[in-house]
Amino acid sequence: MRMTADHARAPVLEALDDYRRRGHLSFTPPGHKQARGADPAVREVLGDAVFLGDVLASGGLDDRLHQGSVLERAEELMADAVHAEHTFFTTCGSSLSVKAAMLAVAGPHEKLVLGRDVHKSVASGLILSGIEPAWVEPQWDGARHLAHPPSPEEFERTLDRHPDAKGALVTSPTPYGGCAYLTEIARLCHRRSLPLIVDEAWGAHLPFHPDLPSWAMDAGADICVTSIHKMGSGLEQGSVFHLQGDLVPPELLRQRADLLGTTSPSVLIFAGMDGWRRQMALRGEEIMGAALELGAEVRAAVEQIDGMHVNDRGDFCGAGLAADFDPLPVVIDIGGLGISGYQAADWLREHRSVDAHLADHRRIGMQITHGDDAETTGGLLAALKDLARAAPLLPPAPRVAVPASAELRLEQAVTPRDAFFGPAEDVPADAAAGRVVAEMITPYPPGIPVALPGERLTDPVLRYLVTGLAAGMYLPDPSDPALGTVRVVKPGST
């Protein structure tokens, strides 16, 4: 039985403080030796605190045999804070964490049921592992051209069509704040004795306030992957696995994570996660309550700006849409301004030094967190009002040929791994329709692939990508980012 947790403790931070007080002389990596060897110009920009906290995890923060159990104690406290049975820290971001979670459930040539609105990191996991995807269609809002997580009914149909699947994976919340029917999907999986993985990268804050959507562990999921740096106070790349139940052994998940993770994890990232857990365990409801109040004020104020509409629960939830809604990713439809989200994001950064979280053909996203206050949101609102005044002087939004939902879905002709690693060639984009794509093509952010290796390209999808690129869409992963050519599988090689 787990002992009562003392959430006033922060094992990683305490061990780091002890390391400094003892004045350790390190004849190990990192080579900067507590900032002494770092370039003075770098020290001036970063400050010495970064280097002072950059020590070895093994043979530095803890001894070489991990006898202090520093990381293990921090992980146990995190698990207790969020009602999980096991928690594992990682320092390679949720992009790695979700791959390890997939490998803990399925292996090469085995099936995993997946929502087709997955992040590109999941698609990368399919390529690396050789897992065969059984896709579940998202719920599509045709009026707003926006995908929400798949319905339980669609998950059940896909599970019935693929009785040999080893488990399922769903993304919730989406970067737009839409949440899946997690409890129902978990029950569907468990009736078949299958584990459910939730990519909850955007949901680190959810366990800490009753007015936020239910999070994966409380909804009955088996594995949850969470990014502490997205909606929490951790440093970039801070990520955790949470685990419960007996469908995935904890030692198996740890082994799969070890297979992919670095042998030189950043203590700075561990410390950020440890400190954030302490902060939220002690004051989380108060802190998140203040963020929700501030977010509501921002949403109401933006709604009063001509040409802007803040997507709310009424827009995103209901029959055929999302199950629940996180109000902190403030998603603003700017179609009334006559400009695109790409134009708006670029204008705000260039003219008001305001960075948007995401941008698409008609929206910008401005995430509010517990790190915001009246000063930061006041600056945001002033910038948005300036944008509304400047919009008539900007060029009209270029047309993006967004396909209907049925046209977005591509046939999976071969597995992602076979297409990606098999013989391929580059062909002009206007000659790629009907060919099987051998690379990912992903508008970013939010990072959901439009085309995956092994899918057969169509004219509507190619038109969407080409017109989107001309309108300001960013495609970081194809071999030709300008999309003059597309990498496709060579004929006769599959």
- The pLDDT of residue 1 is 39
- The pLDDT of residue 366 is 97
- The pLDDT of residue 2 is 53
- The pLDDT of residue 336 is 95
pLDDT in tens, 4-54: 789 999 999 999 999 888 888 888 889 999 999 999 999 999 999 999 999
Looking at the fold, whether 198 and 265 belong to one and the same domain comes out as yes
Domain boundary among 279, 296, 327: 279
Q: Give the residue numbers spanning the domain of 389.
A: 282-393
- The pLDDT of residue 64 is 83
Task: Using the predicted structure, report yes or no on whether residue 291 has a pLDDT greater than 70.
Answer: yes
Position 16 in a domain? no
Total domains, the chain = 3
Position 22 in a domain? no
Position 17 in a domain? no
Looking at the fold, whether 256 and 317 belong to one and the same domain comes out as no
Task: Using the predicted structure, report yes or no on whether residue 408 has a pLDDT greater than 70.
Answer: yes
- The pLDDT of residue 62 is 82
CATH number for the domain spanning 443: value is 3.90.100.10
Looking at the fold, whether 126 and 144 belong to one and the same domain comes out as yes
Q: What is the mean predicted confidence (pLDDT) over 83-87?
A: 95
Task: Using the predicted structure, report yes or no on whether residue 69 has a pLDDT greater than 60.
Answer: yes
pLDDT in tens, 96-113: 899 999 999 999 999 999
Looking at the fold, whether 308 and 457 belong to one and the same domain comes out as no
pLDDT in tens, 303-348: 999 999 999 999 999 989 999 999 999 999 999 999 999 999 999 9
Looking at the fold, whether 121 and 265 belong to one and the same domain comes out as yes
Task: Using the predicted structure, report yes or no on whether residue 125 has a pLDDT greater than 70.
Answer: yes
- The pLDDT of residue 404 is 86
Looking at the fold, whether 192 and 271 belong to one and the same domain comes out as yes
Task: Using the predicted structure, report yes or no on whether residue 494 has a pLDDT greater than 70.
Answer: no
Looking at the fold, whether 245 and 339 belong to one and the same domain comes out as no
Looking at the fold, whether 267 and 389 belong to one and the same domain comes out as no
Mean pLDDT of the chain: 94
Domain boundary among 262, 279, 296: 279
Q: What is the mean predicted confidence (pLDDT) over 287-301?
A: 97
pLDDT in tens, 208-224: 999 999 999 999 999 99
Task: Using the predicted structure, report yes or no on whether residue 3 has a pLDDT greater than 60.
Answer: no
pLDDT in tens, 426-457: 999 999 999 999 999 999 888 899 999 999 99
- The pLDDT of residue 405 is 85
Position 84 in a domain? yes
Q: What is the mean predicted confidence (pLDDT) over 126-154?
A: 94
Q: What is the mean predicted confidence (pLDDT) over 127-148?
A: 93
| Share of residues in the chain with pLDDT > 70 (%) | 99
- The pLDDT of residue 446 is 85
pLDDT in tens, 336-384: 999 999 999 999 999 999 999 999 999 999 999 999 999 999 999 999 9
CATH number for the domain spanning 124: value is 3.40.640.10
pTM metric for this prediction: 0.94
Contact predicate 281/198, CB 8 Å: no
Looking at the fold, whether 291 and 434 belong to one and the same domain comes out as no
Looking at the fold, whether 114 and 173 belong to one and the same domain comes out as yes
Domain boundary among 393, 421, 450: 393
